Structure 1
């Protein structure tokens, strides 16, 4: 098959099923790629990972696809590209997941690959942006791509029907303009109320506002004849506005970037107005959750920097002196300011954040208490147990029994 045909096939697949797709030749060179997903640094893998995949495809007939799952639980479908019974390379489609619990998948990936615990939120957002396919859907995708590659590419042409132009009623048009002005004013008032609610982390107000007026349906006429494209454009705008609202509250740019990228991908992948409406409501709620979890807008600049550093380096050996050095302030001054503004000492704040993370992993039940302690920066299991009991009144073992039973 010609490289030009391979590129066109990749483009068609990417535009229809919204999956990343690449073509590797026998020398592992990437000739074609259509990619939406930005991998977190900790998950970035070299292309050599897929060499065994190519070797397996070479040993199979041309009508075979291969379902690959890597160490991080990311899944791919690989299909060989052949010409005159000679293997030319492979198409790699993915990543995606196949119905696993996202939180469980992240916990396993962190524990099995010894990833930094502070990456949990970034990984959660990344995995949630991935499509979920059943076994049947995976097989269908593989079969579709094999048939495209096996039978060659046919250049298709499209005939488009003409739409008759409507007659204009001038009196109705004038009335419509006045009505449209009132609608626009209402929309922007509503938008500002929603942004204000998100910046405060007020989920009650957010849910009331998102359910009382539909952004998707009322804005879906901006591109005549293309309501889906119009709705997507408004969803992209909402994503930006919600990000700015969360930024007002002092959420660190790292968290904002990851959630914004994830929703941009999900918006483009959504294909119906009801789903876009649900996605916009979900988006508003998740930005609100982000504010409630990571907001530092109520703190002075010094304390904000300290809190951000702690949350982004939770698994490291954190001390007051080390944090003060990283943000270039006097340790005593930081200690006084931190206690006044957070009502906790720096040490207690670190312990509290680590215990909250530990609860997530203990509820999973598949990771040992020792591994959880080390993942969270505790080098002594007994010390971890004492800290955990201080904040929960239970030892880690007792907490597990309570949650699982």
Structure 2
């Protein structure tokens, strides 16, 4: 049976070499048979399910490559693996350039409204155009390295997807649907755990979780799909930190910021750094704005500090804003937070300065000092060193080389 690490390697190889998916289908449905459906028209997506779960896979003999053609002239290549290990599948892809395909005829044959023509054209244009010579590289490498077997390509079997296909395939036996349900349930439990770490501001644990192999269930094959998944992740983390009672102002700000950054991504290599930094940003927000254990007055005080971090902040200003006695507010703040308001303000300013020094290399130290409420850069440097043991410049340099959080 193909291991998860082997699957990942072949998935990456197929993506880089062919620009499409490498799928592994076996009786256990181990979570390696998923195609990202974000931009796939519904009727085409259904035809893919017929390929992946239909009885036609049984038409391929062990060690034989079958080329499957759907009702939309979209193709998959399947290799029936040895030792009852299931099937390796490459696709979807086209044999001919999209411009040579009669989209109108395909829509008419499949009884699909012509108003959807543009959507179907866009999807066909997103598919790779492949031939057997390129696909052969993947299957040959797999059969030799894992099974020490050779494939006879003169025996390629061409199959057109019929309309009366058996669904689901007997090859997966009666427990296949339960297996798929178990995989999906495991994935959502895992995602719930990830979001709970974000809601607690536990960056290291959250980042480690999202690198787990279970997230392979959603490996897409195009930059747009990767960006769509980042958008989903942004939304999920936005909802997760609401439980920490973060002020909506900050939630809207961070969500909007990352929406813009995601759309600005132009290369696949920028996806993982964006994901890492976005998780850090949300966790940082929770760590610096934890309000769940405070009373309403103290929550409002903390929110006021955050919203006015660049301005002078006094207890009298806050008391007038909240219309509550200043002495009472001071006692309440000290009791719940464990430090005085001035101490807290200074701590938050240094904390915010560290964040800006770490992630905003284009900002000068003078600008950062002003942004966190220090009118004098020398005074800012003295306070920063007293709190951290190093100067702002030293902190910035170390953060660039040692990934200081």
The structure number with the bigger radius of gyration is 2
Query: What's the TM-score once normalised by structure 1's chain length?
Result: 0.48
